[in-house]
Amino acid sequence: MGREMALTLAEAGADVALAARNVEALDETASLIEKMGRESLVCPMDISKLEEIERSVNDAVKAFGRIDILINNSGIAGDVPVAQMTPEKWDSVIDVNLKGHVFCTKLAGRHMIENKYGKAINIASIFGLVGIVYNSLYSMAKAGLILFTKSLALEWARYNIQVNVICPGYFLTDLNREFFQTEVGQKVINKIPMRRLGDPKEIRGVVLLLASDASNFMTGSVITIDGGHIAG
pLDDT higher than 90, residue 174: no
Residue 78 confidence (pLDDT)? 86
**Could you give the residue numbers annotated as active site?**
138
Smallest CA-to-CA distance from 208 within 116, 106, 71 is with 71
- Alpha helices, H only, the chain: 2-11, 23-35, 50-64, 87-94, 100-115, 136-156, 183-190, 204-211
pLDDT higher than 90, residue 28: yes
Question: Residue ranges per domain, the chain?
Answer: 2-169+203-224
Q: Give the three-state DSSP class for 198.
A: strand
CATH class given for the domain over 2-169+203-224: alpha beta
Residue 79 confidence (pLDDT)? 87
**What's at 52, amino acid-wise?**
E
Average pLDDT over residues 58-85: 95
pLDDT higher than 90, residue 204: yes
Residue 24 confidence (pLDDT)? 96
Write out pLDDT tens, residues 101-136.
999 999 999 999 999 999 999 999 999 999 999 999
Average pLDDT for the chain? 96
How confident is residue 232, by pLDDT bands cut at 50, 70 and 90? confident
